[in-house]
Amino acid sequence: MIKKGLVLLLIVLILFSGCTKKDIENNVIENVIKKQLQSIEDKDMKNYLTTIDKTKPEYVAERKSWFRDIVSNNITTLDMEIIEILKSDKNLVEAKIKQEYSFNNKEYSITNSMKYVKRGNNWVDSDLIFKSISSDNFSIYYPKGEKEKAKLALRGAERAYKEVYEKIGLIPEGKTVIKLYEDKERLRQSVKLSFPWKFAGWYEYPESIKCIIYNSKDKYFDVISHELVHKITIKESNNNLPYWFAEGLAVYYTELYNVDIFKMNNTLDINKLEKLNLEKMKDSNLIKSYYTSSGLILNFIANKYGEDKIVELVKKLGEFSYIEGTNIEVDKVSIERFHKVIPKVLGITVKKLNEEWNNYEK
């Protein structure tokens, strides 16, 4: 009996000794990836979230939005593959992961440097490999080797914080996390795989602000100001801003504040803006018109009805209940609520407001 036990122990030790450190690291990551892909296939967000680092609330929120986008757009070709182990210790493994998928007859592929950490008995996905610097108001997450550009981002962010507060009279909730990305494609794929065009910045409540890397604090100021307005106004409205109105607020407060109102040719009106889906657009001229028209309408409201009415509209929308989701996911309900609020704040209907805008001539 003792001899049989020793033989079994010897076999186990021999088998175990055959597993190299690299094998163990690969198995750790492969198990997380396999669970993530299966959860997406099963449309099981609860199971998917067990693979995400819960100590990072912004990342959890981002992965929820990312997951819903994949499921709602029926992206079934997503695959992930380990390319290289970069670093490992008892509770951490860093690796290069290739992510591939196809959507609307187009193939996409990108390789990210990812961090996996052990929380309790489980290994979880802990976002891209970032380093960080902080101030009282911001935490800047940046890729390795980009500390100087992260310092520029922090300076731009602090200026944005001050100037946005001076215009709106409201400050962001808590310390704002800003993540810097090496390129627009990496940023786009971190947000929504279905998004058809690339962008320089992004924010959805209650996620981090995302921005590509710049060499100028002034460029950071421009992008972060826009996204800070989103963070403040979406929170103040309890996530009840129509998509066009949310973008209009950001354009108005960062580009058109105290600017004489004007009207371009082919300016969109509220009726058209409400029917458009910014996240499905491909025409760059239409995209530009969407943003500019939204900001101009906010500028028109401020000049005709008073600057204070803009923030009052936002706060009045905040009296409605909160609905979890990105701007486009809650847009239909937000538009309905906006139509109820406009008469209470401006004393006219949205239809009448739209007529006034269409009839406006400088």
Looking at the fold, whether 214 and 124 belong to one and the same domain comes out as no
Return the pLDDT at 14. 41
**Alpha-carbon span 279 to 68, nearest angstrom:** 14
CA-to-CA separations, 280 to 2, 106, 234, 283, in angstroms, rounded: 70, 15, 21, 10
By mean pLDDT, which of 7-16, 79-88, 182-191 is the weakest? Answer: 7-16
Based on the fold, state whether residues 88 and 141 are members of the same structural domain: no
Which stretches does DSSP call E strand in the chain?
Answer: 79-89, 92-103, 106-119, 122-128, 131-134, 138-142, 176-181, 201-202, 209-212
Three-class HEC string of 43-80: CCHHHHHCCECCCCHHHHHHHHHHHHHHHHCCCCCCEE
45 is a domain residue: yes
- Give pLDDT, residue 265: 66
DSSP 131-149: EEEE-SSEEEEE-TT-HHH
CB 190 within 8 A of CB 210: yes
Quick one: pLDDT at residue 1? 46
Same domain, 102 and 44: yes
One domain, residues 97 and 71:
yes
User: Looking at the domain assignment, is residue 6 inside a domain?
Assistant: no
Q: Which among 330, 297, 325 is positioned nearest to 64, based on CA atoms?
A: 325
pLDDT at position 11 over 80: no
Distance of CA 92 to the CA centre of its chain: 25
pLDDT at 140 over 50: yes
The Cα 290–Cα 277 span in angstroms is: 10
Would you say residue 62 has pLDDT above 60? yes
Which DSSP category does 194 fall into? T
Domain end position, chosen among 128, 160, 194 = 128
For the segment 90-119, the average pLDDT, to the nearest whole number, is 97
Assign residue 59 the CATH number of its domain. 3.10.450.100
Q: Are residues 144 and 224 in the same domain?
A: yes
146-189 pLDDT per residue, tens: 999 999 999 999 999 999 999 999 999 999 999 999 999 999 99
45 or 362: whose pLDDT is higher? 45
The answer on 350 and 254 residing in a single domain is yes
Q: Judge whether 4 lies within some domain.
A: no
My answer on whether 88 and 163 are in the same domain is no
Q: Name the token pair of 316.
A: 């009045």
Weakest mean pLDDT among 123-137, 159-173, 252-266:
252-266
Look at residue 89 and tell me whether its pLDDT is greater than 60.
yes
Which whole number is the average pLDDT over 134-156?
Answer: 98
Handedness of CA 258, 262, 265, 269 (dihedral sign): positive
CA distance 201 to 94: 26
Q: Is the pLDDT of residue 348 over 70?
A: yes
List the domain range (segments joined by +) for residue 219. 130-234
Q: Is the pLDDT of residue 361 over 80?
A: no
Average pLDDT over every residue of 328-349: 98
Residues 58 and 160 in one domain: no
> In this predicted structure, what is the pLDDT of residue 142?
98
| CATH code for the domain of 171 | 3.40.30.160
Q: How many domains does the structure of the chain reveal?
A: 3
Residue 9 has pLDDT above 70, yes or no: no
Judge if 246 and 353 occupy the same domain: yes
Give the 3-state secondary structure of residue 128.
strand
In this structure, is residue 230 part of a structural domain?
yes
In sequence order, what are the residues at sequence separation of 6 or more whose Cβ sits closer than 8 angstroms to the Cβ of residue 190? Answer: 62, 66, 128, 179, 181, 210
Are 218 and 252 members of one domain? Answer: no
- For residue 8, being part of any structural domain is answered with no
pLDDT above 80 for 4: no
347: three-class secondary structure by DSSP: coil
11 lies in some domain: no
Shared domain check, 198 and 107: no
pTM across the whole model: 0.92
- Find the mean pLDDT for residues 313-332: 97
pLDDT band at 26 (very low <50, low <70, confident <90, very high): confident
C-alpha of 188 from chain center: 9
Position 256 confidence tier, pLDDT thresholds 50, 70, 90: confident
- Tell me, yes or no, whether 295 lies in a domain: yes
Q: Last residue of a domain, which of 128, 152, 180?
A: 128
The residue among 79, 82, 85 whose CA lies nearest residue 108 is 79
* Parallel/antiparallel/unpaired status of strands 209-212 and 176-181: parallel
Q: How many CB atoms lie within 10 A of CB 317?
A: 24
Alpha-carbon span 139 to 132, nearest angstrom: 7
Do 340 and 241 share a domain, yes or no?
A: yes
CA–CA separation, 66 and 234 (whole Å)? 19
**Number of Cβ within a 10 Å radius of residue 123:** 21
Residues belonging to the chain: 362
CA distances from 157 to 151, 187, 236 (A): 10, 18, 20
Does 84 fall in a domain?
Answer: yes
Identity of the residue numbered 20? T
Domain finish residue from 210, 234, 258: 234
